[in-house]
Amino acid sequence: METEIRGLRKVYPGGVVALEGLDLDIPAGVFGLLGPNGSGKTTLMRILATLLEPTEGEAKVCGRDVRREKAAVREILGYMPQDFGFYPTLSAYETLDYFALLSGVSSPKERRARIEQALARVNLQEMAGRRVGTFSGGMKQRLGIAQALLNDPRVLIMDEPTSGLDPEERIRLRNLLAELAGDRVVILSTHIVSDVSSTADEMAILHRGRLLFSGKLGDILAPLRGRTWIIDLEEEELSRVRAEFFVTGVFRSATGLQVRVIAEDMPHPRGYPAEPTLDDAYVAAMKQEAQAGDVV
């Protein structure tokens, strides 16, 4: 496994438990880390990026311990945080040059080659001379990816890379992540289900610092096969169906409402079987967790 996490626990000062004994293996390819806000995704990303000390447990990135071998981990790591910015007075090229220097590339020739390669990868060559302060949100995200690629990392950690992007930018970024995966690990943390379903080979769902699921996309969908239904409803029937069945989504169609439901048998005369999606699986996992929490 490229990345191994064993018994990882993080308690912030004040007693807030962000991670509760996490065990996770992350293989090569795009790995989606899904969870609502506050589920511990960013804490996990920051621990893997050596920016945060775990309270207990261990994490190894390509065999390098994130606590004891910080510099060694950083050498093989590209990290794009959730919120980040650049020095607005520097151009894109100068910014990447600065980060390449911090990555330990002292030869000007090598820096130039790496910067040009990274800019080409994110399609920002034309903007190399422009000051970063004038960049749009999408361009900044792309520059954020470019800086993470400067050291040709074996592991790329992207914390909520698509947040704040318009649909076109989001699609472009997903394509880029898929391209980048190759034989490296791309750990993609997000609360947007479609980011994971469209790019990730494997995934994990985090909730309140605990792991709800880990595996391939097919594995999480398998239990829902034959149990996922779509029902065409009148508006007034919705509350009754909601109360009676496990609803994972409500959509408006030309004829009225369409409701996605998980049930063992056909739930409604106007229902018909449907292929489960990651949205269904995610909502189901969250609801089950919430119900379990209520019981506790």
Partner 1 sequence: MTWSELRAFSAIARREHQVFSRSSTFWAVVGLGAALGAWRASPPGTSAAMAAYQALQIIVLGVGVIAIMLAGSVATRDRRQGAAELVLAKPQGSAPLLVGARFAGMWLSMLAAAAIMLAAASLAQAGLGGAGWRPGPYLNALARAAAPLGLACALGLSLATLFHTALASGVAALYWVSIPLTRSYLPLVLDTTLSQHRLLATLLGAGALAVAAARYGRQVRGPRRGGARVAWAAGLLLAGAAAAAVAAALSGEDLLTRADPVLAAIASQAALPERPAPGFWLRGADGRLVGMTDFAGRPTVVAFWGPGSPPSARSLALLAQAQAEFADQGLVCIAVCLDRDAATLRPFAREVEGEMVMVWDRGRHFGDGMEWSDSPLAVAYDVERVPVLFVLDAQRRLVHKLEGEVSAEWLRQRISDVLAAP
Instruction: Pick the piece of the chain touching partner 1 (CB under 8 A) from 42-50, 208-216, 228-236, 245-253.
Output: 42-50
Angle at 159 between CA 70 and CA 196, to 5 degrees: 125
- Of 66 and 177, nearer to partner 1 (C-beta) is 66
Applying CB under 8 A, which of residues 1, 12, 27, 51 lies at the interface with partner 1?
51
- Of 113 and 292, nearer to partner 1 (C-beta) is 113
How many CB atoms lie under 10 A from the CB of residue 189?
26
Cβ of residue 94: shortest distance to partner 1, in angstroms? 6
Cβ of residue 268: shortest distance to partner 1, in angstroms? 50
Query: Would you give the binding string for partner 1 spanning residues 146-175, x where CB under 8 A is met?
Result: -x---x------------------------
Which of 78, 27, 24 minimizes the C-alpha distance to 185? 27
Residues 53-112 that bind partner 1 (CB under 8 A): 53, 67, 70-71, 74-75, 77, 79, 81, 83-90, 94, 97-99, 101-104, 106-108
Cβ of residue 291: shortest distance to partner 1, in angstroms? 36
Per CB under 8 A, 50 contacts partner 1: yes
Applying CB under 8 A, which of residues 33, 34, 49, 283 lies at the interface with partner 1?
49
> Which residue reads 């506790």 in tokens?
296
Residues 273 and 228: their CA atoms lie apart, in Å, by 6
Structure-token pair, residue 138: 């999408």
Interface positions with partner 1 (CB under 8 A): 46, 49-51, 53, 67, 70-71, 74-75, 77, 79, 81, 83-90, 94, 97-99, 101-104, 106-108, 144, 147, 151
